[in-house]
Amino acid sequence: MLAYAKWGKFRHRDRMLNMISWRGDEQVLDVGTGRGLLLIGVARRLTTGKSIGIDVWCTKDLSGNALGRTQANVEVEGVKDKVELRSDDARKLSFHDASFDMVLSNLCIHNIPDKQGRDQACREIARVLKPGGIALISDFVLTGFYQKIFAETGLKVSRTGLNLLTYPPLRIVRAEKKAGQQASAVKD
């Protein structure tokens, strides 16, 4: 766990971000941004784009998740002009349909306490994704469930094998909205 905290999480972040061909002008949403690992990694790859991180900022989380800590990390990393932080719930995103070129999430959705909520979060991610956009969701559990829900929304979905160099071992679900595909309705 210590090796993951010191080095592995950065390698995993880079693995995720290297799965995307970046132009630099993307609008990117990081769902469950925590202290900003993905958010900051994305911001470094942007020129004119924006990286928006959302979270419910629960300080009871393992990492002591707090908005102020994430803001401090963003400032220290020198990406403040490319980043926006918001309090938002993944189950009911406050963004318009087709707002983002990319939606990313790492070790977040499994924290939603009920199956219906996790389902809603996946459908919301599909809804806010632009046609031609890509969602990458990394987790150690429930990735088959995420894959199923994204497929139900009409996204083209694939999933990596377990990455045994992370702790816990992680998989990445890749979901792509076809060009011209409209946003899918959210199930109640």
Provide the 3-class DSSP secondary structure of residue 115: helix
Q: What is the pLDDT of residue 66?
A: 86
Average pLDDT along the chain, 188 residues, taken 10 residues at a time: 63 93 97 95 98 87 78 96 97 98 96 97 98 97 98 96 85 93 53
Domains of the chain: 2-168 (3.40.50.150)
Q: Do the beta carbons of residue 74 and residue 83 sit within 8 Å?
A: yes
**Continuous H helices in 35-79:** 37-45, 67-76
Burial 149-162 (b: 16+ CB within 10 A, else e): bbeebebebebbee
Q: What is the pLDDT of residue 186?
A: 45
